[in-house]
Amino acid sequence: MSNTPTPHISAKEGDIAQTVIMAGDPLRVKFMADNYLDNPVQFNNVRGMLGFTGTFGGRPVSVMGHGMGIPSIGIYTYELFNFYGVKSIIRVGSAGAYSKDLRIGDLVIAMGACTDSNYGAQFGLPGTFCPIADYDLLVRAVDTCGKLGYRHKVGNVLSSDIFYHDNPHIEKWVNMGVLAVEMEAAALYMNAARSGNRALALFTVSDHLMTGEATTSEQRQNTFTNMMDVALSLI
């Protein structure tokens, strides 16, 4: 019996490309489909989580939302990797900067993802798993940033379960060299590892937790295009 469609994705087998670029905001996904893809076809709107498949540079690619937080991206990426034959998922999202070397609009390429989530407990490992990016995707993303002249930093991020935090302990993460905080990469990297597939998370700095600088929701939806250029160069 086929596992598709799933309770969360209405696509049929073959509707989704082997490379999927994902964003938390479905409207950012629609922006990518409208502005980057040739002949995009919508394959999902369950719970408003838009997904489209088209081509870019003649190569098939899908774009899809994953919602906010580790439980949400955990469901969508599990189904894509395990039920739809997806081989690579590239997340493009916003992040809050910790590092003093980052500015609004800079790119962060997540080599690894720390987390305060208990998501990894399901695997029953006798220790602590370190969620990391696919090396080939990482190197190629760094190379693309260099060629396009995009300001970027590579390193560790924090995937936090908590947005409004009573005790964020930012300085402790800063002391460990963590560049920025977001909410999904660790689960993406764990699901990729468990399914034997590839993943990379790219971020645009939308606000700075140390300086208080910030962008609007409209800017985050429509103007964070450098990371999209990088992600599409990897398909």
Catalytic residue numbers? 207
**DSSP secondary structure letter of residue 210:** T
Q: What is the C-alpha separation between 99 and 208, in angstroms, rounded?
A: 8
- Taking alpha carbons only, the member of 207, 113, 127 closest to residue 160 is 113
How would you label 148-178 residue by residue, b for 16+ Cβ within 10 Å and e otherwise? eebebbbebbbbbbeeeeeeeebeebeeeeb
CA-angle at 58, arms to 53 and 64, nearest 5°: 20
How many CA atoms are closer than 13 Å to the CA of 134, on its beta-carbon side?
23
Q: What is the C-alpha separation between 87 and 224, in angstroms, rounded?
A: 25
**DSSP secondary structure letter of residue 2:** -
Q: What is the C-alpha separation between 41 and 34, in angstroms, rounded?
A: 10
Cβ contact 27:64 at 8 Å: no
